[in-house]
Amino acid sequence: MQTRELGRTGQQVSALGLGCMSMASDYAYGPSDEREAIATLHRALELGVTFWDTADVYGFGANEELLSKALATHRQEVFLATKFGFVADGAGGAKVDVRPERIAAACDASLRRLGVDTIDLYYAHRIDPAVPVEEMVGAMAALVQAGKVRFLGLSEASAASLRRAAATHPVAALQSEYSIFTRDVEAEILPTCRELGIGVVPFSPLGRGLLTDPGPQLAEKDMRRALPRFGAEVGDANAPLVAGLRQLAAEKGISTAQLALAWLLAQDDSIVPIPGTKRRKYLEDNAAAIAVTLTPEERKWLAALLAAHPVVGARYGEGALKLVNN
């Protein structure tokens, strides 16, 4: 596995990371299987995929606890990222809470569940417009000073918030959704990250499965049932784009997932995608994308395909969209 520098930190991480959200929750992409999830984590280590991403809200702590079972004997091999910012809303869902006064307690709880002394990269999961960015990042910076966290990150932050945060404390990485299906960060946010030396960590780089399976059969509890892009009519509208990607992938003798990841990796050396999976076969397929090279002609062809078939459908419902790129 190749490595890339995380922003301008000097820290090398695997060029492809592993999104762990689905490993301990039936809410994310169907039923979970702890044995297979742990086997996937160990296989990731064998493949050199050592940048692992989780959050305290995934399974409301269960995901961090699952990762602890692999970290117990492999902590030094893993660059570990987790996030705070969502709390239970009392109705089975979650709400944003990034108030400075609760950040230290959230970090301590994650450390305890993960079974580690230090978190390598600690993200604010969302930006709350009601909480000054400077105050939130100031509280996060105190965790660095205390030795509990090495680097700070933001998730789904606007260019303006990135600038305010970076003026308070160095920001190592921005985690945002970015893929062939979701490109809104390209206009302003990516240039700001380049200017400030902030690494870019795309989540859902395979369009939450739409780039690999345009008509997935969703389990009853699968969160994607609530996402506009997974409606039948929207799927039909996006089918020509997916068909084009499959065509090029077949011509190259690779999977559509590998094509999508290769496209993303080629956008900028500061980009480190974290495709999520809880199964070894998908992990292995994703990891092989690191060896895929796109020719100038193929990149031009993809650009024409994207121009001809703009993506239809919002990535979140109206409520969740209010917390994007704040």
The mean pLDDT value for 116-131 works out to: 94
Give residue 310's pLDDT.
85
Residue 206 has pLDDT above 80, yes or no: yes
Buried b (16+ CB within 10 A) or exposed e, 227-245: bebbeeebbebbeebbebb
What are residue 129's phi and psi, to 5 degrees?
Answer: -55, -20
- Euclidean distance between CA atoms 72 and 117, whole angstroms: 11
Give residue 196's pLDDT.
97
Pick from 38-52, 70-84, 202-216: least confident: 202-216
Q: Is 110 helix (H, G, I), strand (E, B) or coil?
A: helix
pLDDT digits (tens, 9 = 90+) for 156-171: 999 999 999 999 999 9
DSSP letter for each residue of 209-254? GTTT-SS----TT-GGGGSGGGSHHHHHHHHHHHHHHHHHHHHHTS
CA-closest candidate to residue 258, choices 219, 212, 318, 326? 212
Give residue 325's pLDDT.
74
Q: Which amino acid is at 245?
A: L
Q: Evaluate whether 178 touches 200 at the Cβ level (below 8 Å).
A: yes
Q: Evaluate whether 68 touches 113 at the Cβ level (below 8 Å).
A: yes
Q: Which tokens in the block code for residue 254?
A: 């690779």
Q: What share of the chain is helix, strand, coil (3-state, %, to 5)?
A: 50, 15, 35
Q: How confident is the model at residue 22 (pLDDT cuts 50, 70, 90)?
A: confident
Q: Which tokens in the block code for residue 158?
A: 């606007």
With both helix axes pointing from N to C terminus, report the angle between 34-47 and 62-74 in degrees, rounded to the nearest 10: 40
Task: Give me the percent of the chain exceeding a pLDDT of 90.
Answer: 68
pLDDT digits (tens, 9 = 90+) for 217-244: 666 666 666 665 666 666 677 788 888 9
Q: Evaluate whether 277 touches 28 at the Cβ level (below 8 Å).
A: no
Q: Which tokens in the block code for residue 314?
A: 């919002």
Question: Is the model more confident about 53 or about 94?
Answer: 53
Residue 260 has pLDDT above 80, yes or no: yes
Residue 175 has pLDDT above 80, yes or no: yes
Q: Evaluate whether 274 touches 280 at the Cβ level (below 8 Å).
A: no
Give residue 191's pLDDT.
95
The mean pLDDT value for 11-38 works out to: 86
Q: Evaluate whether 158 touches 323 at the Cβ level (below 8 Å).
A: no
DSSP letter for each residue of 25-81? -TTTTS---HHHHHHHHHHHHHHT--EEE--TTGGGGHHHHHHHHHHHHHGGG-EEE
The mean pLDDT value for 303-314 works out to: 85
pLDDT digits (tens, 9 = 90+) for 55-68: 999 888 899 999 99
Task: Give me the percent of the chain exceeding a pLDDT of 70.
Answer: 88
Residue 216 has pLDDT above 60, yes or no: no
Pick from 13-22, 81-90, 128-137, 268-277: least confident: 81-90
Give residue 312's pLDDT.
76
For the chain, the domains span: 3-321
Give residue 242's pLDDT.
87
- Euclidean distance between CA atoms 76 and 72, whole angstroms: 10
Q: Evaluate whether 185 touches 178 at the Cβ level (below 8 Å).
A: yes
Q: Evaluate whether 154 touches 119 at the Cβ level (below 8 Å).
A: no
Residue 324 has pLDDT above 90, yes or no: no
Q: Evaluate whether 64 touches 82 at the Cβ level (below 8 Å).
A: yes
pLDDT digits (tens, 9 = 90+) for 77-123: 999 999 999 887 777 677 889 999 999 999 999 999 999 999 999 99
Looking at the structure, give the CATH architecture of the domain made up of residues 3-321.
Alpha-Beta Barrel (3.20)
Question: Is the model more confident about 276 or about 30?
Answer: 276
Residue 251 has pLDDT above 80, yes or no: yes
**103 DSSP assignment:** H
- Positions marked catalytic: 58
